[in-house]
Amino acid sequence: MTELYTDGNDAAGLLAEFMAADPTTTRRRCQSCHAENPLAAHRAYRGAGVVLRCPACGDVAVVIGDCEGELVIEWRGAYRTRRPPQ
């Protein structure tokens, strides 16, 4: 059945809500150790780009390619942000 899916345009509102949230207060549940911590508490390392690591287990949480003109981001784990009251 091809009617079971729409596309990213339909999910855009939800995605935009997530992206508009303050990253420091967004919480991440680690895919490795399952600890939950705000992104503000994650450890940031500067290499070519930026790596955020879980403060509990050190595993990679977010990798950011700080490429001029472009940002590339890989998110690992589950992210949680409060939705503003509608």
Q: How many CA atoms lie within 13 A of 27 on its CB side?
A: 9
Q: For residue 85, state whether it binds other proteins (rule: CB under 8 A).
A: no
Task: In angstroms, give the least distance from the CB of 85 to other proteins.
Answer: 11
Tokens of 35: 């600890």
Query: If binding is defined by CB under 8 A, does position 33 make contact with other proteins?
Result: no
Binding of other proteins by 48 (CB under 8 A): yes
Amino acid (one-letter) located at 62? V
Which SS3 state, helix, strand or coil, does residue 74 take? strand
Give the shortest CB-61-to-other proteins separation in angstroms: 11
Distance of closest approach, residue 2 Cβ to other proteins, in angstroms: 22
Q: Which two tokens stand for residue 39?
A: 């992104």
Name which of 71 and 78 has its Cβ closer to other proteins. 71
Give yes or no for residue 68 binding other proteins (CB under 8 A). yes
What token pair was written down for 75? 């998110």
Both tokens of 4, joined, read 């079971």
